[in-house]
Amino acid sequence: MIRNTQKTDWLKIKSIYIDGINTNNATFEKPENLQDYAYWISSKIEESCFVLDDENDILGWAALSPVSSRCVYSGVAEVSVYVSPFYSGQGNGSKLLSTLVEYAENNNIWTMQAGIFPENISSIKLHKKFGFRQVGVREKIGKLNGEWRDTILFERRSKLIL
């Protein structure tokens, strides 16, 4: 079952996030920056934060974050999808991303974007499956463990919100 996140989900969300961080191919985030649920959710569109809950075991989470506080960008959001390594390759990322796409289409979000490390082939395939297209490469956009890294910028434009 996919449902909205709750504060009580935080430890499992954090654990799955740290598993992603430890791959060095999911995010520039650092574990020490994951203070608590309130801090984590404060950078998200709260109603767009979901977990995949299988009988009280959280298999993954997904969320949208605003890309800017400027009103002109109110319909543009960044995508995050994380699945526990114990449950990857089983369609769980698709379930979560499908939920985000549905949320966006029903909540006036006309552009979803994702910055993905080129090495993260499974994430690239997942996003392409849901209509994301590559719009560019952000060369040396940030340092991870002291090394400059590129990200590929993908976006999905709504066909419903014109």
Whether residue 89 lies inside any domain: the answer is yes
Whether residue 107 lies inside any domain: the answer is yes
Read off the pLDDT of each residue in 79-92 and give the average, rounded to a whole number: 96
Read off the pLDDT of each residue in 16-41 and give the average, rounded to a whole number: 95
Q: What is the CATH number of the domain that holds 64?
A: 3.40.630.30
What share of the chain has pLDDT > 70, as a percent?
100
> Which residues share a beta bridge with 81?
62
Residue 59: both structure tokens together: 């298999």
pLDDT band at 94 (very low <50, low <70, confident <90, very high): very high
Whether residue 73 lies inside any domain: the answer is yes
Does residue 119 surpass a pLDDT of 80?
yes
Whether residue 137 lies inside any domain: the answer is yes
Whether residue 162 lies inside any domain: the answer is no
Read off the pLDDT of each residue in 97-115 and give the average, rounded to a whole number: 97
The count of other CB atoms within 10 Å of the CB of residue 3 is 11
**Domain with 19 in it:** 2-157
pLDDT band at 161 (very low <50, low <70, confident <90, very high): confident
Does the pTM of the predicted model rise above 0.85?
A: yes
**Number of domains the chain is built from:** 1
Residue at 107: amino acid letter: N
Query: What is d(CA 54, CA 2) in angstroms, rounded to the nearest whole number?
Result: 9
Whether residue 19 lies inside any domain: the answer is yes
Average pLDDT, the chain: 96
The count of other CB atoms within 10 Å of the CB of residue 58 is 19
The pLDDT score that the predictor gives to residue 56 is: 81
Whether residue 12 lies inside any domain: the answer is yes
Whether residue 30 lies inside any domain: the answer is yes
Phi-psi region of 13 (alpha: psi -120 to 50; beta: other; left: phi over 0): alpha
pLDDT tens for 120-144 read 999 999 999 999 999 999 999 999 9
Phi-psi region of 34 (alpha: psi -120 to 50; beta: other; left: phi over 0): beta
